[in-house]
Amino acid sequence: MTLKTTAEVCGMGHSMKRKEDPRFIRGQGHYVDDIKLPGMVHLDIVRSPYAHAKIIAIHTDKALAIPGVLAVITGKTLEQFNLHWMPTLMSDTQMVLPVEKVMYQAQEVAAVIATDRYVAADGVEAVEVEYEPLPVVVDPFKALEPGAPVLRTDKPGKQDNHIFHWEAGDRAGTDRAFAEADVKVKQDIYIPRIHVASIETCGCVADFDRAMGHLTVYMTTQAPHAIRTVFALVAGHVGLSEEKIRIISPDIGGGFGGKVPVYPGYVIAVAASVVLGKPVKWSEDRMENLQADSFARDYHITAELAARRDGTMTALRIKTLADHGYTDAAANPSKFPAGLFSICTGSYDLKHAFTEVDAAYTNKPPGGIAYRCSFRVTEAVHAIERITDVLAQELRMDPAELRLKNFIQPDQFPYHSALGWEYDSGNYPAALALAMKTIGYDELRREQAEKRRRGELMGIGISSFTEIVGAGPSKQFDILGIKMFDSAELRVHPTGKVIARFGTKSQGQGHETTYAQIVAEELGIPAAHVQVEEGDTDTAPYGLGTYASRSTPTSGAACAVAARKIREKARKIAAYLLEASEEDLEWETGKFFVKGAPQKAKTIQEIAFAAYTNHPPGMEAGLEAVDYYDPPNLTFPFGSYICVVDVDRGTGAVKIRRFLAVDDCGNIINPMIVDGQIHGGLTMGMAPALLEEISYDENGNISGGSFMDYLVPTAMETPAWETAKTVTPSPHHPFGAKGVGESATVGAPPAIANAVVDALAHLGVRHIDIPITPEKVWDILKANGVAE
């Protein structure tokens, strides 16, 4: 059967009326979307209504007849330049525009270039596409069954939908430990697809200068240098070599991992600018963003935990199937196709563990975004913290007592986990003890027992997680072969002011404050006199960008090391100025002075001026340094969260009454920024636990493709978060920091899930997949005869 559709008929249209509808307002950011360049034209995209279909024909005549429409680009157009496919960050391939078939609903099919964004939208509606529907596969288990339709027919010799198999640990030893165990528990856990839903959607302005052969792209990317390299790899054969490409990432209205990849819209805009010689702007609307990019999770996990009767955990075994959609576009380090999922032993001293992950192609958009989590750590933490509570329930043991019994102890660090990681430092018992004392754990348990006798439903959930951040050591971590170091360049001007440039890119984490404070601490130059710059590949040193909580552990470390290089040169200049030997000088923040004669001193500002006017003979002038920091190990922040919920028997609604987050991110640079990161992360962790989910029916039709049915938390649903800290410095980091930006989104979901299950445990409930919606809870209450 052949069907002819237009974008308007398919519900993918962008008519003027729909653009004025507040439900379809574009990203709301005052960033890339506000850029206006002389002669700029606009790009809008035709999207597929089908999850899997052969393209019979694309009719563009009606669109090209609209005044103001300059061009319509299809896969056939890009194929002429071999630009219709591009590499993903995991060395797979991804369509820019399809030539033969579409692979998921809302996939880009064609692009319309016009003088005005609304004219471009009218052009999109006028493009007619003829499709022949093909069999749809949205279940990854069915995708791996013998005889399932092979989706990636573009791969020569590909005869199945299997992407990779990855494993870690000792399979045989773990199997023996399970065979010898007194108690074994097993739980299937599904973590559904969710979306980053950042305030600003993805967008770019591509500006190709024909005279200079130079491309400038303003874009919403978290990793400007990596994107420039990818562009050069994709388009170098048509003359866009890396030195002729400039990526500028201005203010970004949220990233959370969703703005690390290269999306087709970016490449199409660049291609259009090169062909037309005009600046081309592309900016998604909200539905395009929710339906076609930035997907996370979609992990089907089977977790098993073995223990002795006294509660001592002896072995962990996890088997996972990952749904990556039609291509593996995850942004994981190359050697870790399943990310850092092998942190799944968590905070526990497990002697035996084995985990394996398989990935499958399905007719869904590319998945695998590390949404505010360090490469699949959220999934790992959810698995271990949920199965730990399942074991506690099986043993009829308090979940706090079980955790305290099995924690890695402070004197065991550096700790070598059964799955191959070397944890740098930690004090897990102290964090949980502080959380229990602060929230009044014993009193809450007594209150719960009293309420249960009255028929009221109250639950207490714990999540004692270990994170793994700071990617990464170059011996293990790279993306597309690029080592995951990061960088800082510091230049002290003659008047003692500093410009500091970094390879990272802030999306609201407060880099401008944090980095300036590091400089101030290391050099004694006031933070107000430090100008921080990021996001411009023509000025910033090469870096891998901001994600996976790596800014302070990597670029922050680079900043400290670069500052110390400057301080060493400053020592030589100070010795010259003070007519003393370097060994006779002592450093006090902001100045060098002669030992025993503190009045004989030179401030860093005086030294800076001398570096340009009166430096020692033979010394190179200037006072600046660059450092590319290659960490010796990752850092391992951790925390213990306790959540208290009340469940309404009449509606199934879950209310978070209290939530206490105790975090340990090593030494803290700015407490206010850390608390802000935690508060935001807790809200984003609550979202998938109770609200957010992207799902698909058997035909690949998306549910959750607009803010009408994809529920993000507002201030009304967000409780008053409580926070506390312990401090366990990282022994290998230059100033003992570990990173915190993603801890809350990692630790919060299992704490909330554990609390809801705890509220219903006396009814025989052992597990509920997130999001734990009122409907799910109501069905359980009704089935047990306790619903009101």
**Catalytic positions:** 222, 372-373, 742
Task: Count other C-beta atoms under 10 Å from residue 766's C-beta.
Answer: 14
Distance CA 299, CA 358 (A): 10
> Are 205 and 281 within 8 A, CB to CB?
yes
Q: Do the Cβ atoms of 722 and 418 come closer than 8 Å? A: no
Query: 446 burial class (0-12, 13-18, 19+ CB within 10 angstroms)?
Result: exposed
Helical (H) or strand (E) element with 301? strand 295-307
Among 1, 143, 105, 151, which Cα is nearest to 699's? Answer: 105
First vs last Cα of the chain: how many Å apart? 51
Distance between CA atoms of 352 and 314, rounded to whole angstroms? 6
Name the one residue in this structure whose structure tokens are 């090209």.
Answer: 64
139 is written with which tokens?
A: 């279940």
At residue 393, φ and ψ (nearest 5 deg) are -65, -40
Euclidean distance between CA atoms 584 and 572, whole angstroms: 11
Q: Which two tokens stand for residue 706?
A: 């607009």
Report the 3 state secondary structure along 723-773.
EEECCCCCCCCCCCECCCCCHHHHHHHHHHHHHHHHHHHHHCCCCCCCCCC
Q: What number of H helices and E strands is found in the chain?
A: 19, 35
Nearest to 317 by CA among 373, 400, 383, 408: 383
Pairing assessment for the beta strands 313-323 and 352-360 based on DSSP bridges:
parallel
Contact call for residues 60 and 73 (beta carbons, < 8 A): no
DSSP string, 49-70: SSSSEEEEEEE-HHHHTSTTEE
Alpha-carbon distance 508 to 55, whole Å?
42
For residue 720, count CB atoms less than 10 angstroms from its CB and return exposed for 0-12, middle for 13-18, buried for 19 or more.
Answer: exposed
| Main-chain dihedrals φ then ψ at residue 209, nearest 5 degrees | -95, 105
**Rounded to 5 degrees, what angle do the CA atoms 463, 465, 470 make?**
150
Task: Quote the tokens at residue 278.
Answer: 């005009």
Residue 128 β-bridge partners: 6, 59
Pairing of strands 591-594, 597-603: antiparallel
d(CA 296, CA 770) in angstroms, rounded, equals 14
Tell me whether residue 411 is exposed, middle or buried, using C-beta atoms within 10 angstroms of its C-beta: 0 to 12, 13 to 18, 19 or more. exposed
Q: How far apart are CA 617 and CA 575, in angstroms?
A: 13
CB contact burial 660-696 (16+ within 10 A = b; e otherwise):
bbbbbbbebbbeebbbebbbbbbbbbbbbbbbbbbeb
CA atoms within 13 A on the CB side of 731: 8
Would you state the structure tokens that stand for residue 113, as one six-digit string?
Answer: 């270039």
Upstream peptide bond of 414 is cis (omega within 30 degrees of 0): yes
- Grouping H, G, I as helix, E, B as strand and the rest as coil, residue 302 is strand
**Cβ count near 646 (within 10 Å):** 16
Residue 128 three-state SS: strand
